[in-house]
Amino acid sequence: MKLSNLLSADQIILDLKAEGHGSVIVELVDHLVDTSLLPASLRDESLAALKAREDQVSTGIGSGVAIPHAFSDELDEVVAVFGRSITGIDFEAIDNAPVHFIILFLVPRKQYQLHLRTLAAIAKLFANSEVRRQLAAAATRDEVLAILEARPYRNGTNDA
């Protein structure tokens, strides 16, 4: 599963306004609602599911990356949004470093295996410091998409 397959330019925020862990999740979910990718009727339920997941353990995976995610009984396909924070957000990440890249996604509960593959692909992609460097320097949403689409990996595959 390529992350670029889950995103369009409308699903990318280059300069998040939120400054806190919880408020950035609200900003990302509201963006999905504003762009009609998430029905407004699922906003509160999605926020509650994401908060419950974050309450278990932070989804800040280190290296400036967080992957907030949750399941939904109401969705038929994965819904995702990418946000970049120039200043960084305290996400209670495992390395205690500020988070600059947040990939939030909601997965239909019946697609648990897709959830696991998506998490693994995102973690693999963002483990690459060159990808993070390029994403930090990207000036447009289309540049971000191109980076996510074209990134080769050490094992020769391009599956994130």
pLDDT tens figures, 65-104: 999 999 999 999 999 999 999 999 999 999 999 999 999 9
Number of Cα atoms under 13 Å in the Cβ half of residue 31: 26
* Tokens found for residue 45: 């339920």
Q: Please give the pLDDT value at position 53.
A: 93
Q: What is the CATH number of domain 3-148?
A: 3.40.930.10
Q: Please give the pLDDT value at position 5.
A: 82
Mark out the alpha helices in the chain (DSSP H runs). Answer: 3-6, 21-34, 43-56, 112-126, 129-137, 141-150
Q: Where are the domains of the chain?
A: 3-148
Q: 151 pLDDT exceeds 60?
A: no
pLDDT tens by residue, 110-146: 887 777 888 888 888 899 999 999 999 999 999 999 9
| Single pTM value for the model | 0.89
**Residues that are catalytic:** 69
